Amino acid sequence: MDDRQGQRGSGGNREMWASRLGVILAVTGSAVGLGNFLRFPGLAAKYDGGAFMIPYFIAFLLLGLPIAWSEWAMGRYGGRHGYNSSPGIFRVLWRNRAAPYFGVLAMVVPVMIYMYYVYIEAWCLAYAVRYLFGAMGFENPEQFFTFFAQFTGIEQDGAAWAIEGEGLLGSGVFFLVLCFVLNFVLIYRGLSKGIEWFCSWAMPALLVCAVIVLIRVLTLGTPDPQKPELNVLNGLGYMWNPATERLGFFESLRKPEMWMEAAGQIFFSLSVGFGIIITYASYLKSDDDIALSGLTACAGNEFCEVALGGLMIVPAAYVFFGHETLQASQSTFALGFVTLPNVFGKLPAGGDVIGFLFFFLLFLAAVTSSLSMLQPAIALLEEGLGLRRRASVAMLGFITAVGSAFIVYFSKDLTALDTIDFWVGTFGIYVLALFQVILFAWILGVDRGFEELDRGAEIRVPRIFKFIIKYVSPTYLLAVFAAWAYQSLFVVPEGQPSRLQAIVENRTVQLSIGLIVLVSALFALLIAQSVQRWRAAERAAGGKKP
Amino acid sequence: MTLGGWIAMLLSVGGVTALLGWCIYKVLATPESTRHLHSQVDITTPDILDSEAD
């Protein structure tokens, strides 16, 4: 047994958490990020809001929550056996030569999501700085839309470097470099104490800002009397009505990609299927609680996503842009950036201050998420290749810088970002979650898995979740996957080409897929090397496996 | 906003709020919560401690 898990920050660092309220803020705040306020509203808008919420909540109960618990349990189990990286933990759980190679996904998912996540983080920082310098004084929704299009280079590839005449304030690349440097300084120097300190005050501040914005959205009424249909009640209707004008209730649910993306969103925002929870859980003590901790993180995340993000951004976007623009939005992440500034502009006073605070706090929340995304790969490089933390960080810095530069350059319609977000941020997470739930329920065994989950638990997880994890979650994931694959391959789509067709037809999509394959191959090689070292260490220890 | 929309909104927002409220109650009612409950941000990995020591 490795005693490293006993070295987590429960000594001096614990002094930061002087109160139980601090624990709540830390646990709930850890899950809050760009997924809640930017990605979720974008997806809800894309799939007519109300209809999207059905698969969304089903996925939360049948997939997100049970798989989150599974990851916490498997991670702590692996940590007790001396491994912190997903490939190592998978190898402990499943004595099969193929097991560690499933860890490729657990490396590719967080590392490649980091490549675009840090870019969106940079947009948040840029918006915050522009509010600070009074450079967001646009007059109408179209001007905000035009600014975002220019800033992100939506019109053509290579146009995201800078807006002419705006200097550094108009340069997305400048802010990206700034975020990149900040992230890597924090990771390189291991400034975990600063991150803990930030969480103790920034999360409540972000929630206060969000509530102010929410109140303003709900009191928007009908901002443009020339367009009386664009009012807040219709906006709420767009977000929550189960049936739409175009499609009935059951008809709107017949979209396998929507079911897959709803599950993907649950995984994305709960950090499930990322390889992150499993890595962090491996550092816990064997009698630490994981059941209530996991549930509280999920609950805090859902509150921010549904009660704040869901009530705020989609209704406001409907009011300012209308139904057609909402569905034509180029990227799931774009909606918040073109909508929220309009809301800040409608505040009776202090719009610039709230705008600055909101985007700055969202930026800080994103920083905590992006820092955790690199830990799974750092853990592999350290325990698999024997690298020191700083060498691991430098290597990852190079890989992610190349990926981010690719995403920034291929900016037309944000195709590269959107493609990687779907194939890694939805599809990859989905496949990894499927593997992990099978690993937990069928290979480790659901009874042993629950023994691990119950150890030190402050709540007793309802036993119905044994049945859900063993039968319902894998069946659900496989069924949605099969329906999505069938529709993508065999049903002629209306309007936009399917994801699979886009691979054949669009050069940027092809290049993006190529990048995903390249990064996957790199991690497969690193894992192969790690397996050799682990075997050599086991032979040296007399053939004992951990 | 239809009746179905109102029901969906109230159930969704009410559901997640109630779940969070229950979790907060459980954390507040847990005597050892400050030592015993964890999130990603308060787990300091051993390599960070090594790195800080360097």
Q: Name the band, by pLDDT with cuts 50, 70 and 90, for residue A544.
A: low
From CA A302, how far away is CA A69, in angstroms rounded? 16
> A48 phi and psi, to 5 degrees?
65, 30
Dihedral sign from CA coordinates of A188, A519, A487, A497 = positive
For the stretch A274-304, pLDDT in tens is 888 999 899 998 888 999 999 999 999 999 9
* Cβ atoms < 10 Å from Cβ of A495: 5
Extract the tokens encoding A524: 């497969």
What is the distance in angstroms between the CA of the first residue and the CA of the last residue of chain A? Answer: 8
In whole angstroms, give the CA distance from residue A233 to residue B9: 12
Asked if residue A546 belongs to a domain, the reply is: no
For position A114, what pLDDT does the model report? 95
Structure tokens at A295: 């549930």
Q: Say which amino acid occupies A62.
A: L
Q: How many domains does chain B have?
A: 1
The top-scoring range by mean pLDDT among A154-168, A197-211, A408-422 is A408-422
pLDDT at A441 over 90: yes
Tell whether A545 is covered by a domain. Answer: no
DSSP state of A285: -
Element (H, E) at B42: none
Domain count, chain A: 1
Asked if residue A356 has pLDDT above 70, the reply is yes
Compute the Cα dihedral for A93, A94, A95, A98 and give only its sign: negative
DSSP letter string over A422-483?
A: HIIIIIIHHHHHHHHHHIIIIIIIHHHHHHHHHTT-SS---THHHHIIIIIHHHHHHHHHHH
**B11-53 confidence digits (pLDDT tens):** 999 999 999 999 989 988 887 766 777 777 677 777 776 666 6
Alpha-carbon span A376 to A110, nearest angstrom: 8
Q: Judge whether residue A350 has pLDDT over 60.
A: yes
Contacts of A131 (CB under 8 A, 6+ apart): A344, A352, A353, A355, A356, A359
What pLDDT is attached to residue A205?
Answer: 80
Residues of the domain holding B32: 3-53
Q: Are A262 and A423 in contact (CB under 8 A)?
A: no
Domain residues for A232?
Answer: 4-540
Mean predicted confidence (pLDDT) in A534-544? 82
> What is the signed CA dihedral for A34, A37, A39, A45, rounded to 10 degrees?
-170
- Given B16, B26, B36, which is nearest A306 (Cβ)? B16
Answer whether residue A95 is part of any domain: yes
Residue type, A175: F
CB contact under 8 A, B8 and A4: no
How far is it, in rounded angstroms, from Cα A37 to Cα A121?
A: 12
Instruction: Determine the 3-state secondary structure of A458 from DSSP.
Output: coil
Average pLDDT in chain A = 85
- pLDDT for A10: 45
CATH number at residue A430: 1.20.1740.10
Is the per-residue pLDDT at A433 higher than 90?
A: yes
- pLDDT attached to residue A194: 61
Q: Give the pLDDT mean for A341-363.
A: 82
The amino acid that residue A51 corresponds to is A
ipTM: 0.91
What average pLDDT does the segment A380-394 reach?
A: 90
What span, in angstroms and rounded, lies between the C-alpha atoms of A358 and A251? 37
Q: Taking CB atoms and an 8 Å cutoff, what residues of chain B touch A243? A: 2, 4
Closest partner CB to A299 (pick from B12, B23, B52): B23
Looking at chain A, the whole-number percentage of residues with pLDDT higher than 70 is 90
Model confidence at A113: pLDDT above 90: yes
Q: What is the residue type of A290? A: I
Range of weakest confidence among A32-41, A74-83, B34-43: B34-43
Whether pLDDT at A98 is above 80: yes
Mutation target among A56, A200, A234, A289 for the B interface, most CBs of B within 10 A = A289
What is the biggest distance separating any 2 CA atoms in chain B, rounded to whole angstroms?
Answer: 63
- pLDDT tens-digit readout, A233-268: 998 988 888 877 667 777 778 888 889 889 989 998
A411 near A159, Cβ under 8 Å?
A: yes
CA distance A308 to A305: 6
**Is A290 an 8 Å CB contact of chain B?**
yes
pLDDT at position A1 is 38
The amino acid at residue A455 is: R
- A375 Cβ under 8 Å from any chain B Cβ: yes
SS3 state at A110: helix
Using one digit for the tens of pLDDT, what is the confidence trace for A170-198? Answer: 888 999 999 999 888 887 776 556 666 66
**Residue A347 is encoded by which pair of tokens?**
């505040």
Residue A2: band (very low, low, confident or very high) from pLDDT cuts 50, 70, 90: very low
pLDDT of residue A9: 45
State how far residue B11 is from chain A, nearest Cα, in angstroms: 11
Token duo for residue A523? 């991690």
Confidence check: pLDDT of A17 > 60: no
At A50 the pLDDT is 79
Is A518 within the bounds of a domain? yes
